[in-house]
Structure formats: C-alpha cells, structure tokens
C-alpha cells in the first residue's frame, strides 16, 4: 500500500506488537505524532522530559522483556535523550528510539533545532540509522527491532528527517532480514560445553558467577535448575539480582564493591569461576591481578567481544545463555553435588563471620531497615526500581528478590534520575505489580517533573525517598578518602517533598518512626495513587562492606562489630 513515511512508522510499531510508547513531540517529528492521534492500536505516554521518555522505555523493557520504544524530536529533544541511550547501551537494554530530524535540504546548514544525532549516538547505541528515503523505512524499522532484541540486546536509534516522514512510498513489512555482518551465534559449541562440564566435575571449589545476561536471555529458571542439580554455590552481580530467590540455600548474595563478605571471599577462594552472562566489570573484579587468581574461568556470553576482554577465559563459550545452560543441564550427571559439601560449609562460615547486616544505633531510621521492611510487607508483589547512590546499593543488598525482572536499576552508567521514570515504565509494563522506586533526596529532583506524567497516566508509582540531606555516596567517599572534606554534597536546603507531590496531584508523607512508615506505605498502597514517602534517615550511614576502588575483593572495609540495641 502507498502511505506516508509517518504512517509507515505507525504500521511498523503495530506490526511489532508494540502496545506502549513513551515520548515528547516537536516540529521535526510532528508528522508522526499526527498519525499517532489517528490510531488506537497502542498507547502513547507523554513524559515531561525526553531523558525520562527513554528511561521509561528502559523500565518497560526491563520489566516486560520486550523492546522499549521512545519517540522524540530533533535538536535538544535528541540531546536530552542521549543519557537514556547511553544508559541502555551500558546495561544491554533493547530499545528502539525514533527521532525526528530537520528536512533533508537543511541538513548541514545549522538549521533550527538541527543536530548530528547519528554522529552523537554512534558511540552509545548498538546500531543507528539516518533514513534518507521513505522507501527504506520498512526495512530500517524491521532491522531496528531485530537488532535491538537479538544477540546482546541494546538500543537502536532511527533518525528520520521531517520531509521523509511526508514522502509517499510503498509499505511492505513482510520482508526478510538479512544482515551479512550481523549473525549472532546463539548455540554454544557442544564440545566446548562438554569440556566446561568436565572441568566443573574436577573442581573442588567451583562457583557460579551469575550476570545480567541471564535476565536478558530469560534463562533464570534454567539457571536455577542447573545450580540445584550441581549443588554449586552462586554469587550474583548487581544486574543479576532475582536470578535466584533470596532464600535459596545456594545463593551466597551479591558480590563486588558493595557485595557481601561471603560472596567476595568465595570468589577469592574458588578454583573455578563459572561465568554466565557476566562481563567481569571493574565494580565486580576489583584489582584484576588479584581477582580469583587461583581459579580457572568458564565464560559463557552471547557477545564474543566480552569474552576474555578483561579476564582470560580458559573455557570460552559464545552463545545464548538459555541454550548453553540447557546443554549443560543435559550433562549435569557428570557432577557429584555431594563433592562440594565442605566448600559450601566454608562459605557458610564466611557468612557467619561477617554477615550482611546493619546496626540500629541512631535516633533516625536506618535506610537498610526501610528497604527490608518494604520487602517484608510487599515482597514478591512489588517490582523494585531505584535511582543511583547509597539507596541503590542498600536495595541491592537488602531487598528479598524472588524472581527475575523484579529489579530495575541503572548499573553500568549509574544514572541519577533513572528511577522514577523507569518505575513509570515498569508500572505500564506490569500493572498487576506494585511499582516501588527507592530514591535519594539528590536523585529524585533530577526527574521529579515525571510526577505529572505518573498522575496524568494514572500510574501509581510509590517513591520512597531515603532523605539523609546529602549526596550520600559522594559524601561517603569524602568521609573515607578525603579526610571528611564534604565538598558540595550537603543537601540540607531541600524542597518540602510532601507539598511537591501534592502540587502535582499526588500524595505525600513524611515519616520519622517505624510505625509512621508502616502506616504511610499501607496507605499509599491502598490509595493506589502516585506517592512520595519521605523517610528521614541517618545522615552519616555508610554502605558496607566496601572494596576501595582498585582494591582486591578480599580486602574489604567491613561494618564495625557491635551489639544491636
């Protein structure tokens, strides 16, 4: 059929099964927005900032497993969105971000709201396109969704000049994708998988190192089966929380800079690392020369560029995690689970020596208690998003995750302002779950305008603001490594968060005690509206354990032992 380029965008979104998109209109993308007005196949959520549109699409993608979609205009509309693209690129989140561009005849003339969007996005996208002819749009859009979701997922950017959206051309979406230079290898090498399983059978202290790729490949339940069939203990990265349930006897906990003592010591003592969908990043490894230095390494990843990039793999396996784990399960009879009883006992001793805990020794509430309490009251019924800072690490440490895609946070880029818009996307993707955003008094102000989006769209996100009147994580580093010179991290001058929420049409609570917190959370859940719950927490609480930057995993700063009150 002969339709305009703008209509092609709509038809492609419908053909891809998109039910929700996030965006903000402007001149260069106006033709597409005109076609959105005429259709009723998908829902458009109007954010109040383009960065928030992309973060909301990220939250939607993380919670649903589908490709998230954002639609933005040219110039500042696009530059506002770049942080979201970079965040999605770092965390391997499947997105298609469509931007408007000035007409073809004006490209390169410094026209109003012109920016080299493709040049800017090249380094922070999996792939990008500038569409110069409407007849290419069906192919480009189909490729964009395919590239975003296949292999190692990531964001794809499609830039469309305004006159291209007005061109009339033939639309045929029933086309075969054939990208000669992009052929993800989804099936692992069978011989290499067998060698890896034989190595596991010979190991005395093997350790599963579970990464975010497990979540991306929807392989968590297969991994759970493999862990239990082999009896091998496991540590999770920050991005892998929820792969194993918090109460699984074989889950040690999270490892890394703010991982538990037991998890970091297990990685330091293991003789075989079984890495599944993890990229051995610096926040996990610490000092590379000391990382698991007496261990062999099995590394399974869909991205061949990730294997042996930082830590040499003795058994490299390129393939989709789910496919590889299924093959490993077929060979699990090679493994004698009873062989690792002593190893599991040693790890339990590590945990008993320095458990992941905190001291309730102040007049103000401890932030860790708040997170634990939300877990006790809501548990599996909630999806948990966070902003970035101390509250993020405490949430990763102390929330009782029971399932994959329950945890939504900014990992690689560490983007303050991510949490609230992401939680909006999470709620849009999973309306049956309570959407909680743990945030700080610094992070929440970076995208607080999304209160209007959440209220308008009736997406009842509950924002729990752990207010210590500091940029907490930076303050912690200043306390520990800069002789307590708290340079520009004091946030004592802050808005009235209760009134701020109410001004946008939400509800607000300020709590000082455990009883007040329980009552506020219960009321917010029952009212089912957008909420700010400001919790006044201990100002100088630190996230512990902590591996100093560049230090060895086994050389942790630990919580001082004392009796609880």
Catalytic residue annotation = 50, 112-113, 162, 473
CA dist list (Å): 128 to 94, 151, 155, 158: 13, 16, 9, 6
**Is the dihedral angle over the CA atoms 398, 401, 406, 410 positive or is it negative?**
positive
**Tokens standing for 203?**
């190991």
Distance from C-alpha of 141 to C-alpha of 127, rounded to nearest angstrom = 12
How is residue 288 written in tokens? Answer: 């590379």
274 DSSP assignment: E
Q: Are 111 and 101 in contact (CB under 8 A)?
A: no
Cα–Cα distance, 512 to 494 (Å, whole number): 17
* Residue of 372, 362, 563, 392 lying closest to 471 (CA atoms): 392
Alpha-carbon distance 450 to 443, whole Å? 13
Both structure tokens of 58: 């990220």
Q: What is the length of the chain?
A: 565
Q: Which of 224, 200, 211, 210 is nearest to 337 (CA)?
A: 200
> Is 146 in contact with 67 (CB distance < 8 Å)?
no
Question: Please, what is the Cα angle at 148 between 16 and 409, to 5 degrees?
Answer: 110
Q: Kindly provide the b/e burial profile for residues 225-246, where b requires at least 16 CB atoms within 10 angstroms of the residue's own CB.
A: ebbeebbbbbbbbbbbbbbbee
Q: How far apart are CA 347 and CA 497, in angstroms?
A: 44
42 in Cβ contact with 66 (< 8 Å)? no
Tokens of 333: 């009879």
Token pair belonging to 202: 């010979």
Find out whether the peptide bond into 463 is cis, omega within 30 degrees of 0: no
C-alpha distance from residue 109 to each of 103, 112, 114, 131, 165 (Å): 11, 9, 8, 18, 20
CA distance 443 to 420: 9
Q: Residues 18, 42: contact at Cβ < 8 Å? A: yes
Strand ranges (E), 102-230: 127-130, 155-161, 168-170, 206-210
* Sign of the CA dihedral with 93 first, then 161, 14, and 169 last: negative
Sheet order of strands, 531-536 included: 407-408, 382-386, 434-440, 461-467, 531-536, 507-511
Tell me which residue of 387, 331, 11, 388 sits closest to 188, measured CA to CA.
Answer: 331
Q: How far apart are CA 553 and CA 293, in angstroms?
A: 11
């Amino acid at each position: 059929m002969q339709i305009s380029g703008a209509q092609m965008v709509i038809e492609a979104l419908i053909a891809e099964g998109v039910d929700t998109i996030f965006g903000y209109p402007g001149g260069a993308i106006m033709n597409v927005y005109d076609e959105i007005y005429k259709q009723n196949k998908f829902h458009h959520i109007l954010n109040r900032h383009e960065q928030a549109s992309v973060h909301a699409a990220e939250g939607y993608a993380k919670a649903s497993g589908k490709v998230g979609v954002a639609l933005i205009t040219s110039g500042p509309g696009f530059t506002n969105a770049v942080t979201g693209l970079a965040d999605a690129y770092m965390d391997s989140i499947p997105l298609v971000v469509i931007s408007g561009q000035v007409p073809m005849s004006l490209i390169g003339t410094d026209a109003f709201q012109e920016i080299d969007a493709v040049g800017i996005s090249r380094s922070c996208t999996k792939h990008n396109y500038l569409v110069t002819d409407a007849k290419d749009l069906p192919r480009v859009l189909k490729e964009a969704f395919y590239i975003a979701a296949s292999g190692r997922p990531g964001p794809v950017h499609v830039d469309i000049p305004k006159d291209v959206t007005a061109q009339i051309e033939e639309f045929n979406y029933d086309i075969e994708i054939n990208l000669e230079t992009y052929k993800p290898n989804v099936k692992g090498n069978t011989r290499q998988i067998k060698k890896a399983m034989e190595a596991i059978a010979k190991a005395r202290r093997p350790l599963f190192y579970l990464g975010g790729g497990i979540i991306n490949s929807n392989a968590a339940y297969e991994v759970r089966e493999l862990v239990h069939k082999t009896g091998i203990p496991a540590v999770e990265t920050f991005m892998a929380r929820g792969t194993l349930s918090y109460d699984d006897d074989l889950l040690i906990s999270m490892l890394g800079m703010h991982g538990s003592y037991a998890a970091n010591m297990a990685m330091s003592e293991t003789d075989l690392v079984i890495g599944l969908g993890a990229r051995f990043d610096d926040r996990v490894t610490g000092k590379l020369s000391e990382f698991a230095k007496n261990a062999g390494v099995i590394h399974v990843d869909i991205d061949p560029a990730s294997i042996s990039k930082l830590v040499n793999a003795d058994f490299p396996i390129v393939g989709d995690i789910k496919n590889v784990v299924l093959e490993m399960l077929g060979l699990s009879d090679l493994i004698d689970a009873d062989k690792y009883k002593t190893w599991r006992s040693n790890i339990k001793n590590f945990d008993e020596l320095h458990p992941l805990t905190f001291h309730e020794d102040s007049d103000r509430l401890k932030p860790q208690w708040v997170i634990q309490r939300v877990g006790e009251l809501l548990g599996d019924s909630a999806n948990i998003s966070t902003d970035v800072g101390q509250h993020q690490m405490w949430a990763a440490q102390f929330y009782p995750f029971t399932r994959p895609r329950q945890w939504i946070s900014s990992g690689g880029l560490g983007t303050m302002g991510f949490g609230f818009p992401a939680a909006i996307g999470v709620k849009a993707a999973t309306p049956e779950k309570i959407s909680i955003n743990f945030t700080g008094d610094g992070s929440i102000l970076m995208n607080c305008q999304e209160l209007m989006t959440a209220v308008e769209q009736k997406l009842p996100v509950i924002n729990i603001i752990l207010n210590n009147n500091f940029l907490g994580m930076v303050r912690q580093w200043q306390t520990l490594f800069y002789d307590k010179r708290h340079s520009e991290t004091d946030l004592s001058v802050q808005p009235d968060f209760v009134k701020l929420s109410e001004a946008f049409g939400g509800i607000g609570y300020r709590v000082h005690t455990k009883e007040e917190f329980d009552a506020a959370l219960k009321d917010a859940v029952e009212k089912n509206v957008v909420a700010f719950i400001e919790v006044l927490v201990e100002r100088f609480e630190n996230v512990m354990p902590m591996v100093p930057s560049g230090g060895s995993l086994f050389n942790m700063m630990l919580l001082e032992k004392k009796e609880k009150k």
